[in-house]
Amino acid sequence: MRLLIVESPSKAKTIEKYLGKDFRVVASVGHIRDLPKSNKAAIDIEAGFVPRYEVVKGKEKVISEIKSLAKKADEVILATDPDREGEAIAWHVAEAVKLHNPKRIVFHEITKEAVEEALEHPRAIDEHLREAQEARRVLDRLVGYDLSGLIWKKVRYGLSAGRVQSPALRIIMEREREIRAFVPEKFWKIWANLNNLDFECSIEPRKIEDVEKILAEGKKGDWQVTDIKETKVARAPRAPFITSTLQQYASSRLGWSPSRAMSVAQKLYEAGYITYMRTDSTNLSQQAKAQIKDVVEKKYGAEYFESHAFAKKSKNAQEAHEAIRPTHVSVERAGSTDDQHKLYSLIWSRTVASQMKPAEVMRTKVVANIDGRSIPDFWLNGSRILFPGWLKADPASASEDVVLPKFAQDENLKLSGMRSEEKETTPPPRYSEAGLIKELEKRGIGRPSTYASIIKTLEDRGYVNKLNKALFPTDTGEVVSTFLENHFASYISDSFTAEMEDELDEIANGDRTYLKTLKDFYVPFTKEVKAKEKIEKITNLGAAPADMKCPVCGGEMIIKLGKSGKFYSCEKFPDCTGARTMEGKELEGPKDTGEKCPKCGEGNLVTREGKFGMFTACSRFPKCRYVKKDEEQEKQNSTGIECPVCKAGFMTERRGRYGVFYSCSNYPDCKYAIKAKPTGNICKICGALMMEGTKTIPERCSDKSCPNHNPHKLDKIK
């Protein structure tokens, strides 16, 4: 038996159909090992940036199954994805399962021919590719933890930064500042409806009287064509899709997010319908070109085919890879869902169109005016398709052309009416997801596999919001970006981020070592982070407008950052708790009870609204964390069951971030707590409290280490 290991269960099912009974195909279900959450335990910097991996929770069973099958197998073959991450997963599987000399194969499409071809050319795990992925993972962890830790201290707890998403956030923020600084300029637009077509004219700001004069003269004059400019141009076909362009077109044509596009593409790839969808190469194999030639000649005619090669967009594009294309071009429709049909159709059209003749288009500009030309020229732009070429396969792109009727020089035109509108110049548009991906690619930030995750991370962290496809930076995103731009500008610059990507590529090519790359980066970086420990904490973001006064004391206010964004706070806080929204509406802040805090003696007790209702605490929070007990509520929530630890309190129902739990009423002096409601009975095995269980286990011990915590296991032991 030969064991073949892939990442995805659906990919395993597809491949298993192609191979005989001698093969067993299993999936690792993605990564099986990763860095631990704690940064201290994750990387041994002194030993040479050695990562300390641990098994991903829940993957123990997967590893055990692979181990068992590997022992019985005559040969173990690792067939994970053909990129750095796939190489890393293959290595992790080999390490975790302790495989001896496993074979590694790669294929860029899941077809019978491609898999069989790959099996004939096995190789060892590429250590250079694996190290490049490891370096990326370690770099991201070092940057993320060090910068995030500093932001927690200097801005607000819970915020974070990252090596690649922070430059992306900076790009969004730079555009937002352009928009804010933009000063609109007024101009007039005037339309003349001639032969039922709207000719237009734009003029710089003039008095309304001048516009009315143009309208008056135009309405009484005789119109004619004063000039026709025709230019024959060839519209060349576009390159077949790479990851970034697929995401961009899925956004503009289908209205999808990058993550949705990649998820659907993954399903198409695993089902064997398209080639690998994480690529930056526009190459097509000779076999694919032959298939396209056959399809074009049969469907559109021999005169439509023309072979093309496209220049690589990325200087580090892996030319051994192919563009995203159908595995069998003769199949025009594929997929098992509506989303899969739509994306496959987009890929098919783009692939076939890339190997067709250019479209021939006549660009036309028709200029019109009245007899005597006493008013500015009016014009109409459009085009006529002379030969459709590749537009036959991609008709949606033909909609970009406005078809005009044939006009003649000095031809008389019939005026149906005129209208005018005062307009303003507009600022540059905010980035859409597709636009941001295009910008990241242009600047060399990130790689095909990271674009979707970069945008998703920014949205998940609340740094940007999406409205009508446009990405708006939130108040939190603005503060984080400004902090990083002010204090770590070089580390989130285009040049640094792009250079780091180049260095990772050099590791992958074997031209640079893992240790040198990490050391060259981390030594100066950690010094810079430590130097910034001395800067003052950002307690305010500037003064409020002079007319924005505190609703409580009437004093000056400052801008602060809260969990919900910016707000105005009294500059005397915490002595005065007055606050307003950015629109000026008064915020209900903590209310002073007039009592002194019994714990610190400095602050006053104030009533606040929390996640689970009103509570009374010290005004000096977080320096003093005293919270006054609500005795009435404690009585209502008490179970009446004595705490088995301190014997002085009673087990009381409470609510935390993970839901309801039960703890001693003497908290924080006694911190005993259990997950479920105590029954009042005592465990006969260990003496701990018994608590409510499930339908099949009505009662169980609250001590996890006790066999009676899970009576089903106890029955098996007996």
Question: How far apart, in whole angstroms, are the C-alpha atoms of residue 628 and residue 176?
Answer: 45
Cα 477 to Cα 458, 463, 466, 482, 557, distances in angstroms = 8, 4, 13, 8, 22
Buried/exposed code over 384-407 (b: 16+ C-beta within 10 A; e: otherwise): beeebbbbbbbeebbeebeebeeb
Which one of 53, 249, 269, 276 is the catalytic residue? 276
- 276 as an active site residue: the answer is yes
Task: Give the closest residue to 364 by CA, choosing from 390, 336, 383, 338.
Answer: 383
Q: Is residue 274 within 8 Å of 265, Cβ to Cβ?
A: yes
By DSSP bridging, strand 470-473 and strand 412-413 are: unpaired
Question: How far apart, in whole angstroms, are the C-alpha atoms of residue 262 and residue 268?
Answer: 10
Look up residue 612 and give its two tokens. Answer: 């689970």
DSSP class of 400: G
ω into 622 cis (within 30 of 0): yes
Q: Is residue 219 within 8 Å of 456, Cβ to Cβ?
A: no
**β-bridge partners, 424:** 186
Cα 659 to Cα 655, 675, 676, 697, distances in angstroms = 5, 9, 10, 21
**For residue 594, how many other CB atoms are within 10 A of its CB?**
8
Calculate Rg over the CA atoms of the chain: 34
Question: How far apart, in whole angstroms, are the C-alpha atoms of residue 110 and residue 114?
Answer: 6
Q: Is residue 129 within 8 Å of 136, Cβ to Cβ?
A: no
Question: How far apart, in whole angstroms, are the C-alpha atoms of residue 143 and residue 147?
Answer: 6
Question: How far apart, in whole angstroms, are the C-alpha atoms of residue 551 and residue 195?
Answer: 63
**For residue 544, how many other CB atoms are within 10 A of its CB?**
23
DSSP class of 718: -
Catalytically active residues, by annotation: 276
